[in-house]
Structure 1
Amino acid sequence: MSEITLNAPDGPTSDGAAPQPGDSRGHRQGVLRLLLRNKLSVIGLAFVLFWTLGSFIVPLISPYGADQTAVGPLLKPPSGEHWFGTDNYGRDILTRVFVGGQASLWMGLIAVGISILIGVPLGGIAGFFGGRTGNIIMRVMDVMLAFPSLVLAMAIAASLGPGMFSAMIAVGVVGIPEFARIMFSQTQSLRERDFVEAGRSIGLTNLQILARHVVPNAMAPILVRTTLGLGYAILTAASLSFIGLGAQPPTAEWGVMISDGRGYIISGEWWMTTFSGLAIATSILGFNLLGDSLRDVLDPRLRRSL
């Protein structure tokens, strides 16, 4: 993926002073208004909210359990009783798809959280301090980026053993270099700014300047990468589950459900894989549209065209 570089909108002023709370609130309200005016952003937000809210609400109101078997005839096509049909064990697919959304979303969130917690500090240290330490950190990131991300995730998950925990760790580790490179680029452009010198003049240490001023100023591109990364993390985690390295049957998870139903496509039971596949596609589309819209809104150069 290409590196994202944006100008941070809410940094301290040239004299080192932080922006006023009212200005920050006004900026956030302006960003929200621009997002809601963007049709693609609204579509993306609708997809994200649909799967996020639906994954936690539908299982509560469904009369069936995700692992409850023989709730209807085996391999029954979609009908008024079972809107998404039933699988080879007679389980209600609609319930399993929305319960599977919980697993997929949590896996994506935790994986991206791992990437941020490790990648952002590494990139910030490398960009702010530079020198041999910075070179070593970024060369390690370059080596990781040289491997196809899915192949690297498969290798990590296989070494840890199959399971959701292994998949989250694998996807999280694979995402570290992207966040590190973004933070490295942003930190290099910010470390010579006047507010950094102002912080030094009042006795702040380099780590305090990095944490209080540099990192907050780099949050715009990090936020955009987080949104895009959630879609990628969901896809990668589902891929690991599909090949048996992530969530394991009978867990209701989108990748597992596609793997369970792939043998029934030829015989005509298309609903076994279609709805879980649509869930993956639309959730990823939602995060990508939302991330692209955030990038356009948060970058002053692109915001003029909105």
Structure 2
Amino acid sequence: MPETTTITMLTREAKSPRAVNAFTLLIRNPSAMVGAAIVLLWTVGGLVTLVWSPYPPNLTGAGPLLAAPSPEHLFGTDNYGRDLFSRVLAGARVSLWTGVIAVSLSVVIGVPVGAIAGYVRGATGMVLMRLMDMLLAFPSLLLAMALAVSFGPGLGSAMIAVGIVGIPEFARIAYGQVTSLRQREFVEASHAIGLVDRVILFRHILPNGVVPIIVRCALGMGYAILTAAALSFIGLGAQPPLAEWGVMISDARGYIVSGQWWMTVFPGIAIASSILGFNLFGDGLRDVLDPRLRTSGR
């Protein structure tokens, strides 16, 4: 009876006006909303190019060669007469898709590895985490370059390389969360009622430690876009004539001295703003989903 009364009181408290849900807190977070707006803007812009764009992204001769920004060509044209505004929008779709694939690969591999290592401990856990430490020992960009070279140039190779580089980060997050939760009362109760370890780990422990993983996914998107663009810039990622931001900057680097600034500035702004958007949104998610910040009234 006392337990029922306590549960009823907690339920009423959760339904009271003082119990502000995470979505409301997220809306009230200015930086998170700015980041979400930037991400949404690039996402919509990239998706629109599937059905419409001012000019086909790879259409040569859409305008004069190396034309400066004008009402007809908002971002100007490149050395092939292609409309840069259309190419930047199309590049948003490519870059965001690259980030999604790379981060998904990191999560699908890294989280189970870290979770298993944190749960079983012992020699198995030590071996798994030492392997992750070996990957972390290499500078991330250098490791991505080495992997991309071994896989061969191409957008798919860049996605896989960036995804592999991100695996240790998610593994360590999952390891820390599982290690801190495996001694909690609900885990002991799950053992007591005879649940198998696989169910306890993936249906009870991991869902309670998913918040840092979600935040890292948002922050990892910015890193994935930047690294993939860097690989494309040096010829190891997306290949011309694909409209990808790193490829566009690589094609334009020979025209910086001659004064065609728009060829590098607009793709560069696209990369910087998308990374800023994901970082702001990730920071906002962390502020909202962190229980300590929520109880403090933020």
Shorter-chain TM-score range: over 0.9
Is this contact kept in 2: 1:59–1:65, CA < 8 A? no
CA shift digits 1:140-190 (9 cap, x unpaired)? 111111110000000000011000111001000000000000000000011
Cα distance in 2 for residues equivalent to 1:207 and 1:97: 45
Task: Spell out the pairing of 1:64-79 with structure 2 (5 A cutoff).
Answer: 64-79=55-70
**Are positions 1:237 and 2:237 aligned together?**
no
Q: 5+ residue gaps in structure 1?
A: 1-18
What residue number does 1:271 align with? 262
Task: Spell out the pairing of 1:14-25 with structure 2 (5 A cutoff).
Answer: none
CA shift digits 1:227-262 (9 cap, x unpaired)? 000000000000000000000000000000010011
Secondary structure of 2:51's match? Answer: helix
Higher RCO by CA contacts (8 Å cutoff, separation 6 or greater): 1
Cα distance in 2 for residues equivalent to 1:125 and 1:28: 35
**Are positions 1:43 and 2:40 aligned together?**
no
**Are positions 1:285 and 2:249 aligned together?**
no
User: Higher Cα Rg: structure 1 or 2?
Assistant: 2
Task: Spell out the pairing of 1:53-132 with structure 2 (5 A cutoff).
Answer: 53-58=44-49, 60-132=51-123
Q: Choose the corresponding residue for 2:154, options 156, 163, 168.
A: 163
Task: Judge which range, 33-42 or 281-290, deviates more.
Answer: 33-42
**Residue 305 (structure 1) shift:** 5.6
Secondary structure of 2:21's match? Answer: helix
CA 1:247 to 1:288, structure 2 compared with 1: closer, same or farther past 3 Å? same
> Structure 2 length normalisation: TM-score?
0.92
**Are positions 1:184 and 2:205 aligned together?**
no
Cα distance in 1 for residues equivalent to 2:70 and 2:266: 14
Write the letter of the residue equivalent to 1:197: E
CA 1:215 to 1:28, structure 2 compared with 1: closer, same or farther past 3 Å? farther
Q: Choose the corresponding residue for 2:216, options 205, 219, 225.
A: 225
Write the letter of the residue equivalent to 1:118: I
What residue number does 1:5 align with? none
Write the letter of the residue equivalent to 1:132: A
What residue number does 1:297 align with? 288
Percent identity for Structure 1 against Structure 2:
61
> Structure 1 length normalisation: TM-score?
0.90
What residue number does 1:138 align with? 129
Write the letter of the residue equivalent to 2:220: G
Task: Spell out the pairing of 1:185-264 with structure 2 (5 A cutoff).
Answer: 185-264=176-255
Is this contact kept in 2: 1:59–1:98, CA < 8 A? no
**Residue 266 (structure 1) shift:** 0.6
Cα distance in 2 for residues equivalent to 1:89 and 1:238: 21
Cα distance in 1 for residues equivalent to 2:92 and 2:212: 27
CA shift digits 1:19-47 (9 cap, x unpaired)? 99xx69x9997111111111111110110
Q: 5+ residue gaps in structure 2?
A: 1-9
What residue number does 2:6 align with? none
Task: Judge which range, 26-35 or 43-52, deviates more.
Answer: 26-35
Write the letter of the residue equivalent to 2:86: T
Write the letter of the residue equivalent to 2:252: G
**Are positions 1:151 and 2:122 aligned together?**
no
